[in-house]
């Protein structure tokens, strides 16, 4: 019989707390007794009673052999993996583990250019050389999709010695590639496939959603349980299939990247989220899909708005689509996605997942009901009326996304090079030594080692002027950028 209704970790931690032991160990707040009253009252005694540390009865995430091991084994069964490692360092920690498990200094890793910054951080830490694949750009929406099987074949033909291929599946916007075929191609070269599954924890549990990494036969997947799977923020899992990957190496690396003070609140929340997904996930996700589809249809009846649906599937990089993502193109209203984000916040107390120059993204999960989506639709109706003149004027507005910059130095060499500061507006032609990205989604506009272009400067300026959260440089005011120092002949 399936054991998925059990929660060995949450149950074990709770039973330990119930014994009310006298604690001469950290955390020093001692079940909340030593904590600020206001916070203790707000957060509650139950939560504080299980805010514990890895004492012997509670197992140890760094050497699991008891309740954490059992919980990870149940998770592996639920996710179709051979091994599951719990992460309290977010999906970023799981992604860094995947890359550092397969790459050392000088090793090649094939990655799409539109990766999350944690991928680039791991490339810098490991000293690996990225071989970039151009993601497919959706010129209508102004967003990047996944990578095509043709591009993967070409990259592997040219770099059969790569130590890994990283795929984002599905993307932040819910678009997925033909992962099964990508895995088959990569395995012909014995190259392991590492999947950034930050936005796909739920897809494993419903047949109407894209194939999950484990279903497609990928070797590793960093899967954000906290994003869409019902666990607490920062908790995540790393799923592993044995064969091209050594699970003992993965355990060693994840341990190197993880705090020794692992939160039992986060770990317990992973245990219960897994139980919920495995036992009730299908039914709950069915409801989320219906609610999202109904909302999409209503939004598509509003003049000037377009909410992306299954018609997006068809291009080589858009092989499948997660309907619980509501990508709402607002460009025909003559305002930016950020303007809409602010208006929804101020007028309707609605917070969206992200906005960019042309879109807003709202996610529907099993935490939503018709009441919330109705408020969203009503708000969007009002917004459309407010911008009616623009809709009549514009019809189909253009999007502008800069080309991918040229990489002149490896990101690690650039990061550790001798650098200097130059004015932002005079930086075209120079090699950047820092990251620049809009977060969310956290995809770099520039990474260390790339040559800055005038087009990049204009695009950054456009995002800043729109009020979008452009981040990365030491100088948060964007007056200056750190670039690789140039050495001129002495006169």
Ligand X SMILES: Cc1ncc(COP(=O)(O)O)c(C=O)c1O
Q: How far is the CB of 67 from ligand X (least distance, A)?
A: 24
Q: How far is the CB of 117 from ligand X (least distance, A)?
A: 8
State the Cα torsion 271-277-278-284 to the nearest 10°.
Answer: 150
Q: How far is the CB of 19 from ligand X (least distance, A)?
A: 33
Q: How far is the CB of 351 from ligand X (least distance, A)?
A: 15
Beta bridge partners of 313: 315
98 or 350: whose CB is closer to ligand X? 98
Q: How far is the CB of 266 from ligand X (least distance, A)?
A: 11
Question: Looking up tokens 């930016």, which residue turns up?
Answer: 336
Q: How far is the CB of 396 from ligand X (least distance, A)?
A: 28
434 contacts: CB under 8 Å, gap ≥ 6? 448, 472, 473, 474, 481, 482
| d(C-alpha 122, C-alpha 207), whole Å | 33
Residue nearest to ligand X (CB): 90
Beta bridge partners of 24: none
258 contacts: CB under 8 Å, gap ≥ 6? 61, 62, 87, 88, 89, 93
126 or 236: whose CB is closer to ligand X? 236
116 or 204: whose CB is closer to ligand X? 116
71 or 438: whose CB is closer to ligand X? 438
| d(C-alpha 92, C-alpha 121), whole Å | 9
Residues that bind ligand X (CB under 6 A): 90-92, 95, 116, 118, 168, 172, 196, 198, 224, 236, 440-442
Give the angle 345-350-356 at the CA atoms, nearest 5°: 70
64 contacts: CB under 8 Å, gap ≥ 6? 72
54 or 236: whose CB is closer to ligand X? 236
H runs (alpha helix) in 301-426: 337-348, 370-386, 388-394, 411-416
> Cβ–Cβ contacts within 10 Å for residue 286, how many?
13
Q: How far is the CB of 440 from ligand X (least distance, A)?
A: 6
255 or 293: whose CB is closer to ligand X? 255
115 or 377: whose CB is closer to ligand X? 115
């Amino acid at each position: 019989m399936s054991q998925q209704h059990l929660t060995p970790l949450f149950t074990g931690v709770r039973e330990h707390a119930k014994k009310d032991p006298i604690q001469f160990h950290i955390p020093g707040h001692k079940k909340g007794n030593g904590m600020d009253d206001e916070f203790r009252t707000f957060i509650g005694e139950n939560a504080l009673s299980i805010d514990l540390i890895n004492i012997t009865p509670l197992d140890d995430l760094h050497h699991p052999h008891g309740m954490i091991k059992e919980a990870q084994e149940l998770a592996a069964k639920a996710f179709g993996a051979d091994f599951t490692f719990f992460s309290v360092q977010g999906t970023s920690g799981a992604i860094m583990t995947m890359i550092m498990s397969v790459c050392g200094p000088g090793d090649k890793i094939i990655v799409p250019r539109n990766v999350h910054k944690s991928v680039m951080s791991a490339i810098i830490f490991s000293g690996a050389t990225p071989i970039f694949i151009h993601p497919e750009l959706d010129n209508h929406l102004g967003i990047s999709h996944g990578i095509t099987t043709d591009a993967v074949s070409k990259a592997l033909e040219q770099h059969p010695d790569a130590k890994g291929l990283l795929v984002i599946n599905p993307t932040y916007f819910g678009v997925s590639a033909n992962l099964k075929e990508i895995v088959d191609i990569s395995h012909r070269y014995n190259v392991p496939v590492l999947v950034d599954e930050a936005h796909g924890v739920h897809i494993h549990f419903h047949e109407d959603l894209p194939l999950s990494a484990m279903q497609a036969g990928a070797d590793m997947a960093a899967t954000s349980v906290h994003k869409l799977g019902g666990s607490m923020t920062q908790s995540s899992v790393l799923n592993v299939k044995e064969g091209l990957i050594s699970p003992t190496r993965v355990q060693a690396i994840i341990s190197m990247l993880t705090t020794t003070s692992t939160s039992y609140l986060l770990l317990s929340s992973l245990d219960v989220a897994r139980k919920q997904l495995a036992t009730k996930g299908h039914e709950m996700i069915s409801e989320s899909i219906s609610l999202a589809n109904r909302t999409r249809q209503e939004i598509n009846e509003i003049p000037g708005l377009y909410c992306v649906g299954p018609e997006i599937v068809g291009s080589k990089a858009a092989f499948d689509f997660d309907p619980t993502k509501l990508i709402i193109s607002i460009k025909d209203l003559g305002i930016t996605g950020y303007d809409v984000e602010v208006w929804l916040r101020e007028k309707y107390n609605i917070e969206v997942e992200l906005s960019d120059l042309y879109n807003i993204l709202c996610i529907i999960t099993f935490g939503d009901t018709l009441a919330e989506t109705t408020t969203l639709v009503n708000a969007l109706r009002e917004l459309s009326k407010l911008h009616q003149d623009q809709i009549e004027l514009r019809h189909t507005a253009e999007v502008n996304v800069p080309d991918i910059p040229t990489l002149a130095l490896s990101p690690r060499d650039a990061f550790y090079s001798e650098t200097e500061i130059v004015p932002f507006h005079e930086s075209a032609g120079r090699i950047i030594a820092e990251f620049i990205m809009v977060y969310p989604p956290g995809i770099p506009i520039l990474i260390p080692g790339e040559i800055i272009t005038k087009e990049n400067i204009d695009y950054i300026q456009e995002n800043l002027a729109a009020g979008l959260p452009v981040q990365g440089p030491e100088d948060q005011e964007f007056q200056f950028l750190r670039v690789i120092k140039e050495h001129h002949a002495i006169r």
